[in-house]
């Protein structure tokens, strides 16, 4: 997974899913780029299938963490 600094590649209109600790690592760059952010609480226990469902339901275009 990319680190928080690579979040700067988010473009305006993208929806970025974050599961980073600390949260601020990847939060500000997507917002500064005009992207929206989807915060994923308790994400460390999600399986790959659960992540895919979450990404689809939230219409995520970029996942960090």
pLDDT digits (tens, 9 = 90+) for 1-36: 444 445 446 667 777 776 665 666 567 777 777 888
Query: What is the predicted pLDDT for the residue at 35?
Result: 84
Please report, for the chain, the start and end positions of each structural domain, with discontinuous segments joined by +. 4-64
Q: Is 47 helix (H, G, I), strand (E, B) or coil?
A: coil
When pLDDT is averaged across residues 29-46 and rounded to a whole number, the result is 81
> CA triplet 6, 20, 57: central angle to 5 degrees?
90
Q: Is 34 helix (H, G, I), strand (E, B) or coil?
A: coil
Residue 56 — pLDDT band, cuts 50, 70, 90? very high
Query: What is the predicted pLDDT for the residue at 49?
Result: 94
């Amino acid at each position: 997974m990319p680190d928080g600094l690579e979040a700067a590649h988010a473009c305006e209109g993208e929806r970025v899913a974050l599961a980073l600790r600390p949260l601020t690592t990847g939060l500000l760059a997507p917002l500064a780029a005009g992207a929206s952010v989807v915060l994923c609480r308790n994400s460390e226990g999600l399986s790959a299938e659960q992540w895919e469902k979450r990404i689809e339901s939230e219409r995520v275009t970029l996942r960090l963490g």
